[in-house]
Amino acid sequence: MITLDTEQSAARTWFEQLRDLICAEFEAIEREAGSDAAFAYTAWDRADPSGAPGGGGVRGVMKGRVFEKVGVNVSTVGGTFEGEFGKTIHGAAEDPSFFATGISLVAHMANPHVPAVHMNTRFLVTTKRWFGGGADLNPPLPIEEDTADFHATLKAACDSHDPAHYPRFKQWADDYFYIPHRKVHRGVGGIFYDHLEGDFAANFAFTQDVGRAFLDAFPRIVRRRMNLPFTETDMAQRNEWRGRYAEFNLVHDRGTLFGLKTGGNIDAILMSLPPVATWG
């Protein structure tokens, strides 16, 4: 087991609580659709290269009628970065010791009118302590009402802490969730933030509100669209955009790289990949 201080323990507890809230809501949606699908949970342990306890996590996956595949993972890991990778991490250039706890979620939906979604929030400790994360919407068939709803909910969460957060973090998401070789954005955006450090209590409260905003907005959008009729053309569009989602996560996503470089659980790291995708 990793020894946690008060801040680390508080962050881990919240991410696990948020996981439970989200999974319960997603299972409730499956019940409304007449499905008995439920999350299956798999615990995993991490071996740190230093030989010290490396932590671990729990991978949760559900495959249902509405959620074709959704993964909700929590992890709490620590130890030392190997090789040159630590020099790329905030605060770890001179000391490779690290701690990280967080929640990561990706949902791929059966109905192409329901957007895929990603949400991740995390707390990292090196020689510095900071929060990062965000949420972004990835509709194969964008609907302006849903995009506006998602952004308005995230903006309200941001504005309750700092009016400068939303425009800054929205632009950060637009810049980050971009596929250069396709010259397209991965979806319709959201917010993305990193290296939020200094006042632990304020930054933790903001990170909690990002999670609550996601839990407010996304289930509402799912319920609004999950029973809409769709065509084979719609499904083809869904699968093409899933291919682009996979490309981004495998080529550009920093979270994927962090998980692989720190000895995380492979299935948990790659749970973001869709069950079915196509490339032209």
Q: Kindly state the tokens that stand for 241.
A: 């955009």
Q: Which of 108, 113, 118, 185 is catalytic?
A: 118
Report yes or no: 152 and 180 within 8 Å, Cβ to Cβ. no
User: How far is the C-alpha of 40 from the C-alpha of 42, rounded, in Å?
Assistant: 7
CA distance 280 to 278: 6
Per the DSSP assignment, residues forming a β-bridge with 129 are: 125
Tokens of 218: 């996304």
118 belongs to the catalytic site: yes
Q: Indicate the pairing of strand 129-138 with strand 116-125.
A: antiparallel
The Cα 20–Cα 273 span in angstroms is 22
The angle that helices 200-225 and 6-32 make with each other, rounded to 10 degrees, is 10
- What letter would DSSP give residue 84? G
Catalytically annotated residues: 118
